[in-house]
Amino acid sequence: MNDKPEHFIIDGKRLDGRNLDELRPIKIEMSPLDRADGSCYLEWGNNKIMAAVYGPRELHPRHRQNMTRSVVQYRYNMASFSVDERIRPGPSRRSVEISKVSREAFEPVVFTKFFPRTAIDVFIEVLQADAGTRTAGINAASLALADAGIPMRGLVSACAVGKVDGRIVLDLMKEEDNYGEADMPVAMIAGGRITLLQMDGRLTTEEFYEALKLAKTGCDKVYELQRQALLEKYGGEHPVDAEDVSLEGDTDEQ
Amino acid sequence: MNDKPEHFIIDGKRLDGRNLDELRPIKIEMSPLDRADGSCYLEWGNNKIMAAVYGPRELHPRHRQNMTRSVVQYRYNMASFSVDERIRPGPSRRSVEISKVSREAFEPVVFTKFFPRTAIDVFIEVLQADAGTRTAGINAASLALADAGIPMRGLVSACAVGKVDGRIVLDLMKEEDNYGEADMPVAMIAGGRITLLQMDGRLTTEEFYEALKLAKTGCDKVYELQRQALLEKYGGEHPVDAEDVSLEGDTDEQ
Amino acid sequence: MNDKPEHFIIDGKRLDGRNLDELRPIKIEMSPLDRADGSCYLEWGNNKIMAAVYGPRELHPRHRQNMTRSVVQYRYNMASFSVDERIRPGPSRRSVEISKVSREAFEPVVFTKFFPRTAIDVFIEVLQADAGTRTAGINAASLALADAGIPMRGLVSACAVGKVDGRIVLDLMKEEDNYGEADMPVAMIAGGRITLLQMDGRLTTEEFYEALKLAKTGCDKVYELQRQALLEKYGGEHPVDAEDVSLEGDTDEQ
Amino acid sequence: MSNDVMAEIQRDYLFNLVLKGERADGRAFDEFREMSIETNVIGAAEGSALVKLGDTQVLVGIKTQPGEPFPDTPDVGVIITNAELIPMASPEFEAGPPREGAIEIARVVDRGIRESKSIDLKKLCITEGEKVWIIFIDIHVLNNGGNIIDAASAGSIAALLTATLPAARYDLGEDSQIPMRDIPIAVTAIEFGGELLLDPSLDEEQIAGTSLTVITNTDGSISGMQKSGAEPLTVDQVIRVVDMAKTAAAEIRKKFLEV
Amino acid sequence: MSNDVMAEIQRDYLFNLVLKGERADGRAFDEFREMSIETNVIGAAEGSALVKLGDTQVLVGIKTQPGEPFPDTPDVGVIITNAELIPMASPEFEAGPPREGAIEIARVVDRGIRESKSIDLKKLCITEGEKVWIIFIDIHVLNNGGNIIDAASAGSIAALLTATLPAARYDLGEDSQIPMRDIPIAVTAIEFGGELLLDPSLDEEQIAGTSLTVITNTDGSISGMQKSGAEPLTVDQVIRVVDMAKTAAAEIRKKFLEV
Amino acid sequence: MSNDVMAEIQRDYLFNLVLKGERADGRAFDEFREMSIETNVIGAAEGSALVKLGDTQVLVGIKTQPGEPFPDTPDVGVIITNAELIPMASPEFEAGPPREGAIEIARVVDRGIRESKSIDLKKLCITEGEKVWIIFIDIHVLNNGGNIIDAASAGSIAALLTATLPAARYDLGEDSQIPMRDIPIAVTAIEFGGELLLDPSLDEEQIAGTSLTVITNTDGSISGMQKSGAEPLTVDQVIRVVDMAKTAAAEIRKKFLEV
């Protein structure tokens, strides 16, 4: 653990030189995995995230099947070597909660009614963790779902906003997350509807409004990067083509 | 834990007076258990092993059934008091691996196709452990399977070979296992085909060839003891009668 | 832990002023819970016990169903904050055993044949524990079963007897339980047939006879309180009406 | 099948009520059910509170004991929050280790207490790096009548406010209160038919797509938020819930002055 | 189905025998099957005994090692009793952590030893509050021919009587015996057709509604009792079992003088 | 059903190829797929390597921390190897604690490293009997394209070769490398139609009855061997695999000079 820095913002710049409303660098690699139906590798600052999607596929045990729709399952997992202090393998209370809210971030967008009795499985492996692994995971999952050809109402884009040195900033890095005053991960469907919202720390109502607005800006930026990644991979082909329209439509809405 | 002896071989004799290619004393008791379909108690040096077989019998849960053959299940377990330092009850990573390779040592010989949808359960309890419990367990299991009347292509016989004081020796005792340079458990079908092979330690290729040859000698000796035990128990009756022929046939082959 | 008192009985009175054959104060509240089919809150000395009954209801998984009768399930659980030293949540060996013998205390009285394939679930939560939680739990369970309208041959009533300062006493309090010479929880069907009997400690045969007799006295007193609680709740209505007859019949028997 | 039909009818009934601006139990959309809080109900615990919120009953017990601090925070106490959705409380709950629902409740309550800094954790340090007070908050749900999380949150704060640190028992000086600095209150709304309803009853909860819990403090600041459920919320809806939560929390907070 | 029919026939057969005052294996109602006890069968254990009671075979191993006492009893040793109903012993037993049957056996045996004060636990204290002897009693059932509990109890006592405390191995002075003061013996009866039968065979056990185990000591006192099973017993039946148990235990106890 | 038919067709296809001395991807029987090794890919780990072997991707991370030695080996460090066959990597893998397949991989890799004495464990001792370095080797399989074990073994060695002991972080002097003395390489062959094929692809692996892994060292000695699967091997086959493994391992070992 590093010691707490005295200041997080100096002359309007953050410890890593970013502006307050600037994302860390994001790198996307589509379809890195061969076995999964869809996959995406995403680097976000020092986060290294692998996402894989299997499905729609048969769901076992049978009593977990839903007769009218597909069941979305989401497993967020941190590799034991992904952080300074080794993590014991297996689910933790933290990873169970993150898996739940992340799953719920996708349930509104996946056309689950098309695939009754099946499962759509999303697996997130955090290979290296900086701050913001759950939002990075959601962004990767979004692309892996598209890569698997799962029909969706739109991409889900996510980022965290927070408060450090009394200022609302976009996309907390590790030191800001550890010592900051608030952290608020948000996921949105392109267009701005919120599918994940959590908040820790302490914010006034005004700060919260500002944070929510900044989260929208962040998610829009992420969405643009996701869109580009899909365009690069699929070009004019159908998976993006079809989606693209509906996504743009969503964006125009607001 | 005893300290490491300075020499393991003095004047061609080992610490317990054995020659390099000599097995520890083996004592076999057939059918000691009343509830099991077949059972065998085996002492091998200071190893005390109980083996029981149940089956062919119904396999639960149903989705584990195989439509075309019987599923062989093998559970190797050490009693908590079987070694100096008490073992916590329940499966360990070691016992899971030993159960797997031991099961695979029998899968080639059991006529599983005769009994679709069923399970054949082999249970090994190590009541007292010296070196070589997995091979002792396999030898006892072989006899318990025969005792249960499970049709087999032949008996499986097993022993370990190893390297101490730079020499290849048969059937490591505890001190040799703890401080020796290599340990190689082998199981064979009468005739010499290998159904289990593991090696730990460090051997040159030549030493390995020698070890493999010595393992064959050891397995042959064990086979002879197993055969006698069955003959004593069943005399001219069919379980051995039928088997005997095919086993001899196998032996003649090579 | 308090230190052991020098005497438990002074001038025929116990540490809390009770006579040797006197119960601690008992307070019964019927139907405190809304979701359960039947429930009862019971205070017994410093014990605070909540009992709930669900059923007859479908039993999962299916292979646990019995074609000819209902399966009674009983879960005795201590809240982690119910004793001085926090208890780790989840079943312990102690709670598993208590659940078993408590379930068996009810199996003779519940008309399980009326409800094949179903489960009748009894849940006991010990919110605060003094001595005698299992017997307090049984008394509460008895009333919760009646409250749920489960047909029974009679109420089950329970209490513990024990030995302190060489005397047989009714209903051990905590200090008597911790430092006493014997503890004997007993459950009886009104009429005196024993459905739970355990004993720890050391008793002569004569002391045991005396203890058994005192247990009967205690159970009779408890039964009277249970009966009043049901009468207050249901007045002349059928659940008690019907039962009352059979119970009295039972009592007359001996 | 018939269960599905009943659920459908129930949903339609509640939906039509909401369209008329009504709720099945006659409450206004921003109205809580009656909440009663009884503290010190469990003498064996260092603190305890039984909260009844409509039919919902939650018992919270606090146990405190000296123990080791986490290596990376050697000078502050430890809070461990656990929620048990015991099968007594609902036909839907099953025995066994906590599942995602119970884990979410425990973690949201925990963060609300932790992030509001309502406990002065530094004062729980006994010997830096060696010994601190460990505070176990155990949430025992006895009856699920809906909105467990707000009841659990209120019960946890009420239990903490009345809990002692039994220093004398461990030869660590005199007993004292847990050093509390704020009263964070969780308020949960569900979204249903475009409307936002506070303190959902069980029926309402079961038909709602999604809920939002907002934890606010005495000074009106927000110290926790959790969206739960499979439907999206708009930014406007979130802002409205925050406003409703602040007002409702202030009302609930008054009860703690009585505690 | 046919299993049920067979069970029915078996029940009728045994019931009719009992009406005639007979048992399937020719024993009197208060007669034990032949019990053999072989001690020191496992050299790796500090004590061990193989008990054969009819077809039932139980192996008990004792391991002893220094360890920490429980905080509330700093000056006495620790006994930990564990029973494994391994799947080798019966087609009904399954692998996995002990279930209620195995837990009950372990706890009844444990209490019999503990409550009779047959082990002088104070003498197992090495350094008060820091180090005491921990005695693990591991009960390994090899073949279930009925009445495991009496075999397990006898095996545990026989193993304890011959067990050593390996003090030298831990630089704690000279090896010694476990300090034993009494020989508690468990005797189990089943109730069937109104009759009480000691030492039930597997067949008898399976048709009986209920059993009662009584643990008695050398001086005739009772140090443990456990009713098990879903049928009630009358007070008279309980008293009769206690009498039968004392007589039978005295007989079994003689074997331990030979051990 | 149709799955079975497809499996049958696949088997026949591969069998006929093997009869002609061919493999589906055009390799010779003793030829490995392209193996790439990238080290230091995870900055949070003390050592790491991503191995791609055909379609197989395995990420190995090394974590090192001071801890207590085992009582019976007070003067040597501790290696703990764990393999996770996470469900991401294959539709056949399931979440949950490692099963026999994952355990076997971890143990074979572990023994290969341990028995070759490639790590000088004595140098991992910090204070005899009190503190030694614990080395966690965590094998994370990302994509199963067959022959996980050889990829995991190569990845483990590559990660170890580049790993540091972060002594400064724990005030234990200067950081250093893990003291490595050898480069054991696992090479796996399957037996199929009487032929022996190195580095099986997933398709080949699934139709093969059995596999043999041989771990060899720089000096040509063997430090580990594991037969896996339900078909027997002849002595001659085993000897041939050993020869093939030595040659292939020497080739792979060259890559580590580049690392």
Q: What is the pLDDT of residues F66-108, one digit of tens each?
A: 999 998 899 999 999 999 999 999 999 999 999 999 999 999 9
pLDDT given at position E19: 87
Residue E166 CA, chain-centre distance (Å), reads 25
What phi, psi does A227 have (nearest 5°)? -60, -45
Q: Of A174, A182, A199, which is closest to residue A5 (Cα–Cα)?
A: A174
HEC profile of E107-129: HHHHHHHHHCCCECHHHHEEECC
Q: What is the pLDDT of residues A113-164, one digit of tens each?
A: 999 999 999 999 999 999 999 999 999 999 999 999 999 999 999 999 999 9
Q: How many CB atoms lie within 10 A of CB D32?
A: 17
Q: Residue B94, Cα to own-chain centre: how many angstroms?
A: 16
Q: Helices A133-147 and A93-106, interaxial angle, to 10°?
A: 40
pLDDT on residue B65: 92
Percentage, residues of chain F above pLDDT 90? 86
Q: Given F43, F55, F88, which is nearest A52 (Cβ)?
A: F88
Which regions in chain C score pLDDT beneath 70? 1-2, 236-254
A242 phi and psi angles, rounded to 5 deg: -60, -45
User: Which residues, in sequence order, are CB contacts of A54 under 8 Å at separation 6+?
Assistant: A36, A37, A120, A121, A123, A148, F87, F91
Confidence (pLDDT) at D12: 87
User: E78 — contact with chain C (CB < 8 Å)?
Assistant: no
> Which pLDDT score is estimated for A236?
60
Dihedral sign, Cα of residue E219, residue E221, residue E227, residue E231: positive
CB proximity list for D121: less than 8 A, separation 6 or greater? D76, D77, D79
Distance between CA atoms of residues D115 and A230, nearest Å: 39
CB D188 within 8 A of CB D212: yes
pLDDT above 90 covers a percentage of chain D that reads 87
Distance (Å, rounded) from C-alpha F226 to C-alpha F186? 10
Specify the residue for token string 């692809």. Answer: F201
Tokens (6 digits) for E54: 């009819």
Distance CA A39, CA A32 (A): 6
| Cβ-based contacts of F162 with chain A (< 8 Å) | none
- Cβ under 8 Å to B: F residues 17-76: 72
Q: What was the pLDDT predicted at A248?
A: 34
Residue with tokens 């140098």: F123
**Dist. CA B145–CA B151, nearest whole Å:** 8
Tokens 């010691």 belong to A3
Cα A78 to chain centroid, rounded: 15
CB–CB of C197 and E223 under 8 A? no
Distance separating alpha carbons of residues C105 and C87, to the nearest angstrom: 26
User: Residue E22: exposed, middle, or buried by beta-carbon count in 10 A (0-12, 13-18, 19+)?
Assistant: middle
Q: Which chain D residues contact residue C54 at CB under 8 A?
A: 87, 91
Average pLDDT, chain B: 91
Looking at the predicted structure, is the pLDDT value of residue B245 above 50? no
Alpha helices in E116-234 (DSSP H): 148-161, 202-207
pLDDT for C235 equals: 81
Closest CA to E98 of B93, B90, B73, C102: B90
Domains and CATH numbers, chain E: 26-257 (3.30.230.70)
B102, part of any domain? yes
Q: Where residue D258 falls among pLDDT bands split at 50, 70, 90?
A: low
Q: Which residue has the tokens 């000599």?
A: B22
Q: Which ipTM value was assigned to this complex?
A: 0.94
Look up residue E138 and give its amino acid: D
Q: Which helix (DSSP H) or strand (DSSP E) does residue F213 occupy?
A: strand F210-216
pLDDT at F120: 95
Per the CB < 8 Å rule, is D59 touching C79?
yes
Is residue A4 included in any domain, yes or no? no
Mean pLDDT of F224-233: 96
Q: Does the structure show a pLDDT above 50 at B238?
A: no
- Residue C92 buriedness (CB in 10 A; 0-12 / 13-18 / 19+): middle
> Which residues in C lie closer than 8 A to residue E184 (C-beta atoms)?
none
pLDDT bucket at E7, cuts 50 / 70 / 90: confident
Biggest distance spanned by C-alpha atoms of chain F: 63
Q: Which domain holds residue A182?
A: 16-247
CA of B36 to nearest chain E CA: how many angstroms apart?
7
Query: Are E and D close enough to touch, i.e. 3+ CB pairs under 8 angstroms?
Result: no
DSSP string for residues in F218-242: TTS-EEEEEEEESS-B-HHHHHHHH
The partner residue sitting opposite D88, judged by closest CB among C36, C82, C89, is C36
The total number of structural domains that make up chain A: 1
Q: What percent of chain E shows pLDDT beyond 70? A: 98
Contact D160, D47 (CB under 8 A): yes
Strand blocks (E) in F40-163:
47-53, 56-67, 78-84, 125-127, 131-143
Q: Give a yes or no: residue B113 inside a domain.
A: yes
pLDDT, one tens digit per residue, over F6-15 is 778 888 888 8
Tell me if A218 is assigned to some domain: yes
Mean pLDDT of the region B221-236: 92
In this prediction, residues E215-224 reach a mean pLDDT of: 96
Q: Are the beta carbons of A202 and D115 separated by less than 8 Å?
A: yes
> In angstroms, what separates the C-alpha of F241 from chain B's closest C-alpha?
12
Measured between CA atoms, the residue of chain A closest to residue D223 is: A202
pLDDT tier for residue A62 given thresholds of 50, 70 and 90: confident
Per-residue pLDDT band for F215 (boundaries 50, 70, 90) equals: very high
Residue of D nearest to C46 (CA): D43
CA–CA separation, F27 and F33 (whole Å): 8
* Among F88, F86, F110, CA closest to F96: F86
Would you say residue C30 lies in a domain? yes
Q: What is each CA distance from A204 to A201, B104, D145, D219, F109, in whole angstroms?
A: 10, 65, 32, 9, 54
- Distance between CA E134 and CA E65 in Å, rounded? 5
pLDDT tens digit string along D124-158? Answer: 999 999 999 999 999 999 999 999 999 999 999 99
- For residue F182, what pLDDT is reported? 94
Confidence of residue A235 (pLDDT cuts 50, 70, 90): confident
pLDDT reading at D72 higher than 90: no
Specify if C252 maps to a domain: no
Task: Give the chain A residue nearest D114 (alpha carbons).
Answer: A201
Task: Give the CATH number, domain containing residue B29.
Answer: 3.30.230.70
Nearest Cα to Cα of residue B84 among E133, E45, E178, F73 = E45
In a domain, B186, yes or no: yes
Per-residue HEC secondary structure of C161-193 comes to: EEEECCEEEECCCHHHHHHCCEEEEEEEECCCE
pLDDT 10s digits, F128-140: 999 999 999 999 9
Q: How far is CA D89 from CA C122, D56, D108, in A?
A: 12, 9, 20
* Residue entry with tokens 């696949």: F10
pLDDT per position as a tens digit, D1-20: 356 677 788 888 888 898 89
Provide the mean pLDDT of chain E.
94
* Predicted pLDDT at F5: 76
Q: Helix or strand or coil: residue D11?
A: helix
Give the per-residue pLDDT at D259: 53
Alpha-carbon distance of B226 to C227, in angstroms, equals 70
Which parts of chain C fold into alpha helices (H)?
Answer: 93-106, 133-147, 174-179, 205-234, 238-253
What's the pLDDT band for A237 if we cut at 50, 70, 90? low
d(CA F199, CA F205): 9
- pLDDT tens profile F181-212: 999 999 999 998 889 999 999 999 988 889 99
Q: Where are the alpha helices (DSSP H) in C1-129?
A: 93-106
Residues of B with CB under 8 A from a CB of E: 32-36, 46, 48, 50, 52, 54, 57, 75, 77, 79-86, 89-90, 121, 123, 125, 127-129
Chain A residues at the D interface, defined by Cβ less than 8 Å, are 1, 85, 93-94, 96-97, 99-101, 104, 107-108, 182, 184, 189, 192-205, 208-209, 212, 216
Instruction: Decide if E210 contacts E230 (C-beta within 8 A).
Output: yes
CB A121 to CB F87 under 8 A? yes
Write out the two tokens for F150.
């050889």
Is the previous residue joined to B61 through a cis bond, with omega within 30 degrees of 0?
yes
How many angstroms away from the CA of B191 is the closest CA of chain F? 10
Position D56 scores a pLDDT of: 98
Q: Are E52 and B33 spatial neighbours (Cβ–Cβ below 8 Å)? A: no
Q: How confident is the model at residue E11 (pLDDT cuts 50, 70, 90)?
A: confident
| Kind of pairing between the strands at C193-203 and E185-192 | unpaired
- The band of B249, judged by pLDDT with boundaries at 50, 70 and 90, is very low
Picking from A96, A57, A56, A58, the residue whose alpha carbon sits closest to that of residue A74 is A96
**Residue D93 clears pLDDT 70, i.e. is over it:** yes
Long-range CB contacts (< 8 A, 24+ apart) of C93-100?
C93/E98, C93/E103, C93/E106, C93/E107, C94/E107, C96/E99, C96/E100, C96/E103, C97/E100, C97/E103, C97/E104, C97/E107, C98/C134, C98/C137, C99/C74, C99/C75, C99/E100, C100/C74, C100/E100, C100/E103, C100/E104, C100/E228
Neighbors of chain D by Cβ distance (3+ pairs < 8 Å): A, C
Distance separating alpha carbons of residues C52 and C123, to the nearest angstrom: 5
Residue C9 placed within a domain: no
Distance from CA of E76 to the nearest CA of B (A): 21
**Can you tell me whether residue C201 is helix, strand or coil?**
strand
CB D193 within 8 A of CB D29: no
The answer to whether the beta carbons of residues A159 and A213 sit under 8 Å apart is: no
Length of chain B: 254
User: Looking at the complex, does the CB of residue E228 fall below 8 Å from at least one CB of chain C?
Assistant: yes
Set of chain C residues whose Cβ sits within 8 Å of the Cβ of E212: 197
Please name the residue that has the structure tokens 């056949």: F92
The burial class, CB within 10 Å (0-12 / 13-18 / 19+), for A209 is middle
CA distances from C84 to B8, B144, C76, D81 (A): 58, 53, 19, 18
Six-digit token pair at B84? 């100096």
Proportion of chain D above pLDDT 70, given as a percent: 98
